Chain A
C-alpha cells in the first residue's frame, strides 16, 4: 500500500475537472468548473461562502454526482462512475469542513480504523486489522502531536485537536490525493501556523487540495491559489497575483 505515494508516475494530472456543473433544485452550485492538479502539487482554494468549494469536494469524492462534466483521477479513472468507498480505495482522502471523527472511539482507534489495509467485513472480523501495531498508530499521532492523547475518547478532544485527529486519519489512510476542507476553522493563531507547516510537510509526499478562508494561512502555505466564485474559477495563480486581482478583491477580499 505504502508504495503508492512515491512511485514515479508518468501521469500529467492527478486530478482533472472539466466543465463540471451541479445544480440543486435549479440553483447552480458548480457552473462549468475546471481544475487541473499536477501530481505532487498542493493547491489552495479560496472563495466566498457558497462559492461551491465543498460541493467540488463532494463531486470528487463521489458524494454528489455532477450533472455535466468530467472528473478524472490519475489521468484515467472516471470518478463520476464510482461511489465513496471505491474512490477512497483508489487513494483519495477527505477531511470534512465540520471536523468528523469517531467520537466514542479512542484517539488511537480512530487512527487504527483509518490506517491503510484491507477493509472487508471478513478481515475486520477475523483480525487483519488487529495486527496493526501501536507503533504504527503512534507514528501517525506523533506527527499531529496527539500521541499523549491516544487513550482519550475522540469526543473529549478540543475542536482544534479534532481537526488534527481528522488530518492524522487522512495520513493513516495514506491516500495519493488529500482534500482538506477548512482545516484551521476554529483554531488559535499558533495552531493555525502548526497546521500550515504540517500540510506543507504532507505536501512533500502527497497531492493536496486545501480549501480555506484564512488568508494568512493560505499565504503560509505558499502555493498556487484558485479563487472560486459562483461555482466557477474566478482567478488562478500565485497568492500575490490572485489577491490583487480586481475581481477577487471585489467579490471576496474587499468585503
Chain B
C-alpha cells in the first residue's frame, strides 16, 4: 500500500515539482544565511518572507484545486478556512507577547486592555500552548467545513448555488471578525508579534526556518492531495465532477466523497493561513474578503485546474505579478492585469499553463511512439 501511494509521486510533474521545491528551499536558505549581504547572490530577508507568502498561497491553491479541479466544487469561500487557520496561529502569537505589549499587561493582549476587558475570553484559553494552537489551525476550519459541507452536500446544493453560499460564509465571517466584541481584535486584527516558540519572529534565521517549513508544508499538502487524486477515491471524485448522478446510480454516496475532500481541503487551507500569519506579521478580517477567495480561483484556473502543480504555479506566478504591479506607478492597473490574465488564459489556455503544457507533452510523446499502439492506461489527469 505504501509503495502504491509513493508511486503516485513517480510521474514527471511530481518529480519536477518536488525537486524544484527542495532546490528552492536549499538555495534560499544557503544564500540568505551563509552569503554576506554584499554578495551578488545574497537573498535578502524580505524576499525570503515574500517567497514564503507566495508558497502559503500555493498551499491554498492546491487545497482549492483538490475540490474544484477534481470534484467540481467551486468553493468561493476558501479564504474563510485560510483566515481561520491564520487567526488560530495569530492567537498563539499574541499570547507569546506576554507583558511586552504597549500596556504591559501580562494576562491580556493589548486590544483587550484597550476595550477594558478584565478577563481573557474562554475561547482564548489554551492558545498559550503551541500544540493546542496547531490543533486548532486544522480543527476549526475542518469542523466548519464538515458542518457546512454536510448541510450543503446532503441537500444537494451544487454549481452556482454552492459557490454563492460559500461566498456568503466567508462574508459572514468577515462581518463577525470586524466586530470588537468578538474578541479577535476587530478591524485591526492581531499583530505586533514578537516571538514564535521563543524565537524572535524578525530574526533572519526564524524567517528562513518559517520559509523552509512552508516549503515542507507545500510538499506535504501536494503529496496528500496527489495520493488522494491518484487513488480510486480520486477517480470517484472525477466521476462525480463529470457525471454526478451516474456516480450515484452506481451506488456511490456522493455526499460522503465530497465531504471528505472538502474537509481535507479546508484543513490544508487552514495550515496555509497559519504559516502565512507569522511571515506577514498580521492577520485581520480583510483576509476573509470575498475577493480573496475569488483570486484563489483565478490562480488555479491560470495555472491549470485539476493538475495540483498548476495550482501552485498559478498562485506563485499571479502573486509575483501582483507584487510587481501593486508597487510603483502601475499600481492602479493591477485589477485590470488580473482580470486580463484571467480572460486571456480562459480564452487561449483553457486548461491553464500546466494543463496545456502536459497536453502538448503527451501529444509529442504519442507521436513519437509507434503508430497504432494504444497508450497504456494513464493514471488520473496530471
Q: Does A150 contact B (CB under 8 A)?
A: yes
Interface size bucket, B side?
20 to 34
Per the bound structure, the CA–CA distance linking A127 and B8 in Å amounts to: 13
- A-chain residues with CB within 8 Å of residue B254 when the two chains form the complex: 85
- A-chain residues with CB within 8 Å of residue B375 when the two chains form the complex: 151
A101 interface neighbour in B4, B243, B257, B381, Cβ under 8 Å: B243
B238 interface neighbour in A93, A102, A123, A148, Cβ under 8 Å: A102
A119-B251, A119-B252 given; A102·B374 CB < 8 A: no
A42-92 interface with B by 8 A CB criterion:
61, 63, 83-85, 88-89
A112-B235, A113-B239, A127-B231 given; A121·B250 CB < 8 A: no
Q: Does A106 contact B (CB under 8 A)?
A: yes
Per the bound structure, the CA–CA distance linking A71 and B17 in Å amounts to: 54
Per the bound structure, the CA–CA distance linking A192 and B254 in Å amounts to: 33
- A-chain residues with CB within 8 Å of residue B247 when the two chains form the complex: 113
| Contact B235 A109, beta carbon cutoff 8 Å | yes
| Contact A121 B233, beta carbon cutoff 8 Å | yes
B231 interface neighbour in A63, A106, A125, Cβ under 8 Å: A125
| Contact A150 B233, beta carbon cutoff 8 Å | no
A108-140 interface with B by 8 A CB criterion:
108-109, 112-114, 119-121, 123-127, 129-130
Q: Does B249 contact A (CB under 8 A)?
A: yes
Per the bound structure, the CA–CA distance linking A156 and B235 in Å amounts to: 18
Interface size bucket, A side?
35 or more
Per the bound structure, the CA–CA distance linking A61 and B246 in Å amounts to: 11
Per the bound structure, the CA–CA distance linking A106 and B246 in Å amounts to: 16
Q: Give the distance to chain A from B184, nearest Cβ to Cβ, in Å.
A: 34
Q: Does B327 contact A (CB under 8 A)?
A: no
| Contact B231 A151, beta carbon cutoff 8 Å | no
- A-chain residues with CB within 8 Å of residue B236 when the two chains form the complex: 113, 124
| Contact A105 B376, beta carbon cutoff 8 Å | no
A103-B242, A113-B239 given; A127·B248 CB < 8 A: no
B250 interface neighbour in A106, A127, A150, A169, Cβ under 8 Å: A169
Q: Does B324 contact A (CB under 8 A)?
A: no
Most chain-B CB neighbours within 10 Å: which of A102, A106, A130, A149?
A102
- A-chain residues with CB within 8 Å of residue B249 when the two chains form the complex: 61, 84-85, 88, 93-94
Per the bound structure, the CA–CA distance linking A138 and B235 in Å amounts to: 19
B260 interface neighbour in A94, A102, A121, A152, Cβ under 8 Å: A121
Chain A to chain B: the 7 pairs with minimum beta-carbon distance, closest first: A88-B251, A124-B233, A129-B232, A84-B248, A125-B233, A124-B232, A100-B246
Interface residues of A (CB under 8 A from B): 61, 63, 83-85, 88-89, 93-94, 96, 100-106, 108-109, 112-114, 119-121, 123-127, 129-130, 148-152, 169, 173
Could you write out 13 A-B pairs with CB less than 8 Å apart? Answer: A94-B249, A100-B246, A102-B242, A102-B246, A104-B242, A104-B381, A106-B378, A124-B231, A125-B232, A130-B232, A148-B374, A151-B378, A173-B251
